[in-house]
């Protein structure tokens, strides 16, 4: 799978303080990569370098083979910042028109209508931004990021202001983007959300990439828990493969089995282990 986003030996320092230390990361077409890490770990810096808002101190970032921040790279991305604001006097439709013009999209009214429908804001096309709730503005921000059909979408905490219904809408949207072969880099603190939608997870701590892989591959077996007539027994370190053997042995010993559960570490366990309890 050709990389849509490729960061190689990426470094960034702010006045001598290292924010990123040699990060290598790739996101392929149609892939949804969840970027996790404590506050101040360097997630937003990486995202901002990818869209040309911040200049790297070393290494490189390419979008579809073009240097991040170059006009062709910018034409290929959509971005929603963690802290963003749209002009309050603008209506949702006017905001999308502005971004269509700035990125040269020929989508016209049909693209705007489709994007507003995707984020379930069709009813608010004529509403001014200043009259919208924070959640509506965040969904409008996602629609804005999708103007011009970007090949790479960079979302920095896109669901931080959303209620559960809003989060479900965004999850559905991300699934739809995967079907359309759009690559997505998703910065989020919501581990359950990342676990639900992301193909791969990358964990950053102190500017370094400390863990990367599919959520299922990152999780490790914790043991097999068996409930018998004599109580609950935990076979630590055992996995799914060992479970039938454990049950057969207990039955042979005359135990009556009521419940068997294969325990594995959650993404939260993996995350906490990777960041060693660090918080920003």
Positions in the binding site for another protein (CB under 8 A): 14, 48, 51-55, 71-72, 74-75, 77, 79-81, 83-87, 89-90, 94, 98-99, 101-104, 141, 144
Residue 68 beta carbon to another protein: minimum distance, rounded to whole angstroms: 10
Phi, psi for 187 (deg, rounded to 5): -90, 125
Q: How far is the CB of 51 from another protein (least distance, A)?
A: 5
In whole angstroms, how close is the CB of 240 to another protein at the nearest point? 45
* Closest to another protein by CB, 52 or 215: 52
Rounded least distance, CB 69 to another protein, Å: 9
For 72, the 3-state DSSP assignment is: helix
Nearest CA to 77 out of 137, 135, 140, 156 is that of: 156
Continuous H helices in 18-163: 43-50, 71-75, 92-103, 108-118, 134-145
Tokens 């990389």 -> residue: 3
**Shortest CB 89 distance to another protein, Å:** 4
Quote the CA–CA distance of 43 and 209 in Å, as a whole number: 10
Cβ distance to another protein smaller for residue 63 or 205 = 63
56 vs 215 by CB, closer to another protein = 56
At 234, is the secondary structure helix, strand, or coil?
Answer: strand
CA-CA distance, 117 to 186, in Å (whole number)? 21
Would you state the structure tokens that stand for residue 109, as one six-digit string?
């009214």
By beta-carbon proximity to another protein, the closer residue of 160 and 264 is 160
Q: Return the number of the residue (80 or 270) whose C-beta is nearest another protein.
A: 80
């Amino acid at each position: 799978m050709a990389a849509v986003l490729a960061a190689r030996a990426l470094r960034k320092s702010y006045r001598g303080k290292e924010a990123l230390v040699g990060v290598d990361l790739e996101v392929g077409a149609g892939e949804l990569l969840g970027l996790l890490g404590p506050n101040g770990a360097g997630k937003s810096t990486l995202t901002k370098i990818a869209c040309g808002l911040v200049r790297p101190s070393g290494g490189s970032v390419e979008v579809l083979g073009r240097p991040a921040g170059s006009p062709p790279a910018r034409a290929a991305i959509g971005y929603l910042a963690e802290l963003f604001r749209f002009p309050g006097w603008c209506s949702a439709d006017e905001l999308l028109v502005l971004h269509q013009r700035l990125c040269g999209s020929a989508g016209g009214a049909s693209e705007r209508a489709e994007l507003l429908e995707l984020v379930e804001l069709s009813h608010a096309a004529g509403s001014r931004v200043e009259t919208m709730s924070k959640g509506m503005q965040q969904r409008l921000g996602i629609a804005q990021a999708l103007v011009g059909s970007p090949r790479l979408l960079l979302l920095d905490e896109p669901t931080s202001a959303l209620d559960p219904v809003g989060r479900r809408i965004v999850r559905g949207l991300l699934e739809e983007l995967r079907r359309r072969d759009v690559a997505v880099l998703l910065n989020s603190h919501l581990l359950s959300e990342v676990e639900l939608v992301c193909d791969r997870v990358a964990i950053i701590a102190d500017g370094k990439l400390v863990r990367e892989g599919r959520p299922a591959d990152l999780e490790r077996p914790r043991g097999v828990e068996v409930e018998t007539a004599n109580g609950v027994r935990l076979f630590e370190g055992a996995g799914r493969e060992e479970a039938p053997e454990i049950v057969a042995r207990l039955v042979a010993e005359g135990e009556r089995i009521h419940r068997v559960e294969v325990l594995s570490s959650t993404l939260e366990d993996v995350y906490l282990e990777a960041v060693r309890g660090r918080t920003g």
